Structure formats: structure tokens, C-alpha cells
């Protein structure tokens, strides 16, 4: 069995692979460690009534903490952490002692690594603003309906994550030629009889300069619901790729074999007709979910809102749009059920993996019922579909968003 790369060896490897200055900032490191509040280290934070959670969150499960952001909270480019959706497939740790926490990196590597938080915090850091979305966001809109969390539009958020590059850790361990995939496992507890939540990503994505082992979110240490003390951050991809409460990174010679890689989080290689799901067709060759799909949503007005006309007053229609690894170029709005389209105004904030906020000033011509529809286009010319192909998992809904409003005089 390969010997672990203990602390003194880690220092030597770090000097060779990352530069001799890795451990030359003890004052900065002490400040970073001190930035973790005692509450984050020792107090359970799984109670949605805790004041760190937005009271407007839609709670689907408390045991497997699962909460959706309300559209009323989508008011800024950066989603406040307390409004950011939470999806736990297993039971969240009640507490983690960061002083005893250890991250292990093994598998198809020459020098298995075991590092504590001080080691991790001393590595060079990168900041990435990323729109994270649960793969099942929008599941409630599929027809026929599909089992699982009935997410509507709010299992998504945009945050700035910070931490060491994943590739720097992999280089410390020294990849073997056989390395093909990188798997992540966290400290969450699987229910009795269930598998541990483990997923892997291709080595190419793991080595991307923007894939991180994140320790901070929106300028503060990760909270427990969002993966304290460290999580994977795989930008542009479905949220389940960014494993929380990170404990083990394992380099593999193939895709990880487990229930959360297959049959979970996969879609048919050949699309199914959305109107007639076919079980036998759904069991043909499948592909793992990776990048998010092009999508726009309307955040304001609310669905079924009653709007009163005022002389000279326009109605602000606004929302967000994102495309995973393919940045959004434009968003269009229709106020007549998709018959005609108008360009919206994109907000000034943008980043490679981040959503774009958009807004449109609408002046209804007369009282009545209106259906508002939004659709996005990416920089490659792809357009958001009217309705995506049906799949048995209810994944990656990205049909044009529709809301109905009533305008009164």
C-alpha cells in the first residue's frame, strides 16, 4: 500500500509543484482559520428556521435538508447565501471539527495525500463566480409528472466560490498515466440500505483551472448546508458534481461505478418524445449529466399576479438566464403567449459561468389576461427550446418560462 504523503512531505511536494511560498504566510493563514465562526464548527445548522436561512425558502425536507429559493429572492446578481437553494441526498453532518478534519487524495496517483485544513488553506486560491443548479430544477413542469423533489424554478443560485484549484491538489499527488476520472465523497451519512453519495467527473474537467476545492462562498466560510469546511466546485455543471463536506478525492481509471452515476443522473442518449415516455427506450444507452442547459426564468411579476394599470407607468418584467459552460448572449420576452418577441436589457454583471440578469419595461395595451414568455440564446446561437425532451429522472428542464398575469384598470 502506498505511503501517505504526510505533512513534511506535503511541504516538500508543495515547494516543488506549487512554489516554495506555499507556507510562507502564517499570518494570513491564521486570519483565514479565524474567519470560521465557532457556530460553523460546532452548532448544527440543519434547522431551516435558523436565522441564516431566508424565511421565504420553500422547504421540501428537513431530514435530507432540501430548500428552494423563492422568486421573490431573485433580486441580485449574487444570490445571498441564506437564499441559496440546498439539496442534500443524504444526512448532513450535524457538526464538523475543522481542527480534526482531513482531506484524503488517493487512487491512480503516485503519492497519496492526506492534508488538514491548515494545509489546504495555505495553497494558492482562485475565485470563481458560478451559477449552480440542481439537475432536477423544473421537474414539476414535465408532463407526465415525475417522482422526486417537485422543484419549480428556484433550485438555482449564483455565488462566488473561493479555494485552491483542484488540479493543484492532483498535481501534488502525481497522476498516473491510467488516470481518467476523479471521484468525490463527503461526510454526509447515507440512510440505512442506501449507497454513499459519490460521483465522479472526467479528468479533463478536474484539471480545468476553474474547478476548485472551495472553502468560501460569497466572501465568507462555507456554511454547513453548503458544504463546510470544503466542497468541490465544478463550474457550469449540475450541482451534484460539486460534492459537499469533502473528505475523499479518488482518482480512477474509469467513471465511478455507483447508483448516483448509473442509473442516477443520466439521460437517454437518444431523446424521448416529451408527449409519450417509453420505458423500454429509456433503458437504452444513457449519458451522464454534465453541463447545465441553456435556460431563462421570469422572477417578476409572480405567477398569477394581479397588476393595476397606472397612467404612464410601465411594468418591470425581470429574471435571469444561464447556459452552464456556454454564456448567454441575449434574452427575449413575449407578452402575447409567444406570438411576437422583444429584446430585453441584460444587466451589466457577467462572468463565464454566471447567469445574466435581464429586464424589460412593459406597457400593457389594455386590461386582460396575458401570458409572458421568456427565452434565451447563447453565444453559439443556440436557443432555449419550447419544451425539452422528457426523461425518467425529470432532469434539466429548460423549456421557455411562462407565467400568466392579470392586468386590471
| Mean model confidence pLDDT for the chain | 87
Q: Of 369, 390, 386, 370, give the one whose Cα is nearest residue 332.
A: 386
Question: With bands split at pLDDT 50, 70 and 90, how would you rate the model's confidence at 98?
Answer: very high
Kindly report the CATH class assigned to 295-408.
mainly beta
Neighbouring C-alpha atoms within 13 Å toward the C-beta of 259: 7
The whole model's pTM is what? 0.86
Over pLDDT 90: what percentage of the chain?
80
Residues in a beta bridge with 334: 373
Within 10 A of 66 (CB to CB), how many other CB atoms are there?
Answer: 21
Fold of 7-261: Sulfite Oxidase; Chain A, domain 2 (3.90.420)
Q: Of 128, 71, 54, 98, give the one whose Cα is nearest residue 224.
A: 98
Question: With bands split at pLDDT 50, 70 and 90, how would you rate the model's confidence at 45?
Answer: very low
Average pLDDT over residues 246-254: 98
Greatest alpha-carbon span in the chain? 78
Instruction: List, in order, residues 6 or more apart from 371 with CB less than 8 Å away.
Output: 336, 337, 338, 402, 403, 404
Tell me if residue 50 falls in helix, strand or coil. Answer: coil
Q: How far is CA 293 from CA 154, 238, 269, 300, in A?
A: 15, 9, 15, 22
Residue 33 has a pLDDT of 57
Tens digits of residue pLDDT in 182-226 = 999 999 999 998 999 999 999 999 999 999 999 999 999 999 999
Cell numbers standing for residue 404? 400568466
Residue 44 has a pLDDT of 31
Question: With bands split at pLDDT 50, 70 and 90, how would you rate the model's confidence at 8?
Answer: very low
Distance between CA atoms of 48 and 44, rounded to whole angstroms?
Answer: 11
Q: How far is CA 267 from CA 143, 202, 204, 384, in A?
A: 16, 17, 21, 18
Q: Is the pLDDT of residue 11 over 60?
A: no
Tens digits of residue pLDDT in 359-393 = 999 999 999 999 999 999 999 999 999 999 999 99
Residue 310 has a pLDDT of 82
Q: Of 127, 129, 131, give the one whose Cα is nearest residue 164.
A: 127
Residue 52 has a pLDDT of 62
Which residues of 97-193 form beta strands (DSSP E)?
A: 102-107, 113-116, 125-133, 156-164, 181-186
The region of weakest confidence among 26-30, 274-278, 390-394 is 26-30
- Where b means 16+ CB within 10 Å and e means fewer, 248-282 reads bbbbbeebbebebbeebbbbbeeebebeebeeeeb
**Domain segments of the chain: what residues?**
7-261, 295-408
Residue 54 has a pLDDT of 87
Tens digits of residue pLDDT in 303-323 = 999 999 886 789 999 999 999
Cell numbers standing for residue 96? 464538523
Residue labelled with grid coordinates 421573490: 72
Q: Is the pLDDT of residue 85 over 80?
A: yes
Residue 312 has a pLDDT of 72
Average pLDDT over residues 102-128: 97
Over pLDDT 70: what percentage of the chain?
84
Q: Is the pLDDT of residue 19 over 80?
A: no
Amino acid at each position: 500500500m502506498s505511503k501517505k504523503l504526510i505533512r513534511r512531505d506535503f511541504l516538500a511536494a508543495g515547494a516543488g509543484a506549487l512554489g516554495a511560498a506555499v507556507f510562507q504566510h502564517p499570518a494570513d493563514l491564521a486570519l483565514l482559520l479565524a474567519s470560521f465562526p465557532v457556530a460553523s464548527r460546532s452548532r448544527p445548522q440543519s434547522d431551516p428556521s435558523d436565522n441564516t436561512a431566508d424565511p421565504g425558502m420553500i422547504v421540501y425536507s428537513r431530514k435530507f435538508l432540501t430548500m428552494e429559493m423563492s422568486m421573490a429572492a431573485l433580486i441580485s446578481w449574487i444570490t445571498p447565501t441564506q437564499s441559496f437553494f440546498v439539496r442534500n441526498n443524504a444526512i448532513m453532518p450535524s457538526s464538523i471539527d475543522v481542527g480534526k478534519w482531513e482531506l484524503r487524495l488517493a487512487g491512480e496517483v503516485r503519492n497519496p495525500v492526506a492534508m488538514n485544513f491548515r494545509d489546504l488553506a495555505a495553497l494558492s486560491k482562485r475565485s470563481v463566480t458560478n451559477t449552480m443548479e440542481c439537475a432536477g430544477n423544473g421537474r414539476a413542469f414535465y408532463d407526465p409528472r415525475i417522482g422526486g423533489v417537485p422543484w419549480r424554478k428556484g433550485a438555482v443560485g449564483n455565488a462566488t466560490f473561493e479555494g485552491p484549484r483542484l488540479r493543484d491538489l492532483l498535481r501534488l499527488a502525481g497522476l498516473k498515466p491510467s488516470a481518467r476520472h476523479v471521484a468525490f465523497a463527503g461526510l454526509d451519512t447515507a440512510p440505512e440500505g442506501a449507497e454513499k453519495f459519490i460521483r465522479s467527473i472526467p479528468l479533463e474537467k478536474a484539471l480545468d483551472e476553474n474547478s476548485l476545492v472551495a472553502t468560501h462562498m460569497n466572501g465568507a466560510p462555507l456554511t454547513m448546508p453548503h458544504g463546510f469546511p470544503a466542497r468541490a466546485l465544478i463550474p457550469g455543471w449540475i450541482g451534484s458534481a460539486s460534492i459537499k463536506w469533502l473528505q475523499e478525492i479518488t482518482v480512477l481509471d474509469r467513471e465511478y461505478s455507483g447508483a448516483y452515476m448509473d442509473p442516477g443522473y443520466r439521460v437517454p442518449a437518444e431523446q424521448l418524445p416529451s408527449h409519450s415516455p417509453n420505458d423500454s427506450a429509456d433503458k437504452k444507452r444513457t449519458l451522464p449529466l454534465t453541463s447545465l442547459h441553456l435556460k431563462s426564468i421570469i422572477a417578476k411579476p409572480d405567477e398569477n399576479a394581479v397588476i393595476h394599470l397606472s397612467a404612464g407607468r410601465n411594468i418591470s418584467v425581470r429574471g435571469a438566464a444561464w447556459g452552464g459552460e456556454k454564456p448567454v448572449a441575449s434574452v427575449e420576452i413575449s407578452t402575447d403567449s409567444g406570438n411576437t418577441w422583444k429584446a430585453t436589457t441584460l444587466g451589466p454583471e457577467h462572468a463565464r459561468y454566471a447567469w445574466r440578469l435581464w429586464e424589460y419595461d412593459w406597457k400593457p395595451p389594455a386590461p386582460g389576461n396575458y401570458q409572458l414568455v421568456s427565452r434565451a440564446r447563447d453565444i453559439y446561437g443556440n436557443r432555449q427550446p419550447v419544451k425539452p425532451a422528457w426523461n425518467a429522472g425529470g432532469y434539466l428542464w429548460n423549456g421557455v418560462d411562462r407565467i400568466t398575469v392579470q392586468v386590471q384598470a
